[in-house]
A and B are shown apart, each in its own frame.
Chain A
Amino acid sequence: MSSARATSTPWLLVGPGALFFLALVILPLVLTVILSFHAFDHSSGIKNEFTLAHYAAVLSDDYYLGIFWRTLRLAALTTLICAVIGAPEAYILSRMRDPWRSVFLLVIIGPLLVSVVVRAFGWSMLLGSTGLVNQALQALGFGPARLLYTETAIVIALVHVMLPFMVIPVWTALQKLDPAVEAAAWSLGASHFTALRRVVLPQVSLGMLSGSLIVFGLSASAFAIPGLLGGRRLKMAATLVYDEYMHELNWPLGATIAIIVLVANLLIMLAYNRVVEGRARRTLG
């Protein structure tokens, strides 16, 4: 009796979580996969036939490939900029004393408390043709620059949203670092910069890795920011899926694109993780 209970306890404990996961993630995903193989006709809608035509269409059409390429490019660029800004930001944060550290941590996390849609609208006001940024540029004697509805606008807004996801893991990694290690490097003749590059950076690389994965994953599937700041023409993967579903009403094609994006995203992240983490794990243990 008691041994039977002992074996069933773990299952009972994971039960609720597993059911939720099954119902809210796995089931819709399976349905989407099935949907992506359904044939579609513009006059009669979804047909009860299976076909690979959507996959063939998407993977052979320059229009779709162009959007995939843009998604990949912008997500990678956002990740890179986040790493370049976020890592030093986290380092400065970790060196601050307490009242200020709490204040600035709140400033960094602050954006997460505001809805993405609100923030995107905020950026569209700032970057618009008569927005604050253009006014400033004109005051400084530069001509009006077209910012809104460009890739630049998307990247700027994405970096703003994603920065906390880079700062927090790097900061956590820095917290674990013995401050004396840096002093040890100085005492051995390393300059501040060399100490950072040779001693601090390698040890926060795992933090930067997890930060990059989160930022890349979220950027590649971002919807509201490209939707609002990229305009009708400049599409990214998520906005494309939305258009196929809501405007073209071609659900199977939308499902196909969604699945392709998911798989591509997964492959890129797993490969990246393997390469970087493998190396870091070997030395950091």
Chain B
Amino acid sequence: MGFLTLEKLSKIYGDLAAVQDVDLAVDKGEFVSLLGPSGCGKTTTLQMIAGLVEPSAGKISLDGRDITRQKPNHRGLGIVFQSYALFPHMTVAQNVSFGLEMRKVGKAERDERVKTMLGLVHLARFAERYPRQLSGGQRQRVAIARALVIQPPVLLLDEPLSNLDAKLREEMQFELRRIQQSVGTTTIMVTHDQAEALSISDRVVVMEQGRMTQIDAPYRLYERPATPFISSFVGKMNRLEGVWRKGAAEIVGVTLPTEAGGFAEGQAIALSIRPEKLALRPQGQGRLDGTILHRFFLGSYWLFTVETPAGPLSVSVPNDGDEPARQGAAVSLDWAPASLRVEALAARGAAA
């Protein structure tokens, strides 16, 4: 039994099940991300936890209390909205102080807590500014401070970084984690950005079409994706289809070494390997020969598309300072057999 639990939570709009039979247990102090493409039901799930959308079925409990039908203003959860939803007619300090006023906290204590919270988000100097006088990142911090100052049992973040530019997003991502860890608040974040979810969460929940398809620690999610959708949505993935012949994976006559086994002869299989698990070797010195089709420089690494007899493969190589093979060069690919994952393809393969 977690601190915050969702049991068989569903939201049905007419014929459409936005969220269906979602079960989740979040521990105290944990940072959990709901990850998925738009329309997967992650925001609806968050809004049900917040009390802004009423569930069609299921139960939400917080610290053992059933809060499924409780009004949002009695739940006491901290919410950071995608648009930040700051009160434009109030100063930063007044925005942060609002939740404390609603809780009838005395003026002296209120000022003290607002000051401490603004210090935590590095906005002490901006207390008397209005939201319109702040930059996007600063508004974001105000929204976080406003949600945290009421010391909520759970902090809900709805796409908190999506309105920031790339550079700032990266900074705020770590900033968010720092703040969360220093306060220790249980946090649930909704995001469609896999990098964001992987980098700062304790656990990531992947949602597809209203259902949770995998709940795992970020690295396990990345290394062992439960569905083909997750493998392509989280990070980049090379996916090839082949058959199992004589105890090895084979694609159009090319045999690829792997550690997997136990498939029936002639079973259709899907092979997947991450681009960074492939290494470029001089021609003839690897396991699979090919030629470089494209080469992209991405700063910290190089991304290649290598045309091989088994099909085109993406390869990423860390930038070690030297220029690697050029476009058109003949190369060979190498990999640790353990990193090539093999899965049986169901029914469709049996006919092939």
Report which A residues bind B (CB closer than 8 A).
Answer: 178, 180-181, 183-191, 194, 198-199, 202-203, 283-285
B89 and A202 within 8 A (CB): yes
B81 and A194 within 8 A (CB): no
B76 within 8 A of A: yes
Which residues from chain A contact B82 at a C-beta distance below 8 Å? 180
User: Quick one: which of A181, A189, A284 contacts B85, CB cutoff 8 A?
Assistant: A181
Which residues from chain B contact A202 at a C-beta distance below 8 Å? 89
B146 within 8 A of A: yes
Which residues from chain B contact A178 at a C-beta distance below 8 Å? 83, 85
B130 within 8 A of A: yes
B227 within 8 A of A: no
User: Quick one: which of A181, A186, A284 contacts B73, CB cutoff 8 A?
Assistant: A186
CB distance from B212 to the nearest CB of A (A): 24
Q: Which of B13-44 contact A (CB under 8 A)?
A: none
Which residues from chain B contact A203 at a C-beta distance below 8 Å? 88-89
Beta-carbon nearest neighbor of A192 in chain B? B73
CA distance A186 to B47 in the complex (A): 13
A284 and B88 within 8 A (CB): yes
CB distance from B98 to the nearest CB of A (A): 5
Q: Is chain A's binding surface mostly helix, strand, loop or mixed?
A: helix
A188 and B98 within 8 A (CB): yes
A189 and B99 within 8 A (CB): yes
**What are 24 pairs between A and B in contact, CB < 8 Å?**
A178-B83, A178-B85, A180-B82, A180-B83, A180-B85, A183-B50, A183-B79, A184-B79, A185-B87, A185-B98, A186-B72, A186-B73, A187-B52, A187-B72, A187-B73, A188-B73, A189-B102, A198-B98, A199-B87, A202-B89, A203-B88, A283-B90, A284-B88, A285-B88
Given known A-B contacts A194-B102, A285-B130, A187 and B79 have beta carbons under 8 A apart: yes
CB distance from B82 to the nearest CB of A (A): 8
Beta-carbon nearest neighbor of A205 in chain B? B89
6 closest A-B pairs by beta carbon, nearest first, are A188-B99, A189-B102, A180-B85, A184-B85, A187-B79, A180-B81
A184 and B150 within 8 A (CB): no
Beta-carbon nearest neighbor of B146 in chain A? A188
CA distance A237 to B60 in the complex (A): 64
B326 within 8 A of A: no
CA distance A178 to B83 in the complex (A): 8
Beta-carbon nearest neighbor of B82 in chain A? A180
A187 and B77 within 8 A (CB): yes
B73 and A190 within 8 A (CB): yes
User: Quick one: which of B75, B77, B87, B99 contacts A181, CB cutoff 8 A?
Assistant: B87
CA distance A283 to B74 in the complex (A): 29
CB distance from B149 to the nearest CB of A (A): 9
B107 within 8 A of A: no
Which residues from chain B contact A189 at a C-beta distance below 8 Å? 73-74, 76, 99, 102-103, 150
CB distance from B93 to the nearest CB of A (A): 13
Beta-carbon nearest neighbor of A284 in chain B? B89
User: Quick one: which of B73, B89, B98, B103 contacts A191, CB cutoff 8 A?
Assistant: B73
Q: A180-B83, A187-B52 are in contact. List 5 more A-B contacts (CB 8 A).
A: A183-B79, A184-B85, A187-B73, A187-B75, A189-B103
